[in-house]
Amino acid sequence: MIGRLNHVAIAVPNLDAAAALYRDTLGAEVGPPQDELDHGVTVIFITLPNTKIELLYPLGDNSPIASFLEKNPAGGIHHICYEVEDILVARDKLKADGARVLGTGEPKIGAHGKPVLFLHPKDFTGTLVELEQV
């Protein structure tokens, strides 16, 4: 069901410093910041030859990233994102198999302009999983 690893998302306490670290120290291609109002985050994508890194920073007080950073002030890996061919088929199979889909269970449009869903970390070895339709 899952396809390529689309990205690994890292919550960061300072978006500019994290972007500079990837750009200046690691020599990676760093994109511009994007505000994702529906998800309460500002993101920057780092493009690697085989995948992407998504830097996440809270956008507003109710951002889920703000609470993550309260527990992890230095930041850390927040979630991993896998591609799926059909997000509704994937959702229905996962739910039938007992996995919990977060939120309403209906896909939202993610930072790449494609439908996404999140799966409960307790169902996936402690890892928050995002699915993105290709």
Written as one letter, the residue type at 65 is: I
130 is catalytic: yes
Structure token pair of residue 79: 């979630």
The contacts of residue 23 (CB under 8 Å, 6+ apart) are: 29, 30
Q: Report how far apart the first and last C-alpha atoms of the chain are (Å, whole number).
A: 12
- Find the catalytic residue in 29, 83, 85, 130: 130
Element (H, E) at 95: helix 87-96
Written as one letter, the residue type at 62 is: N
Question: DSSP code of 102?
Answer: P
Structure token pair of residue 84: 């799926």
Structure token pair of residue 132: 């993105």
User: Known catalytic residues?
Assistant: 130
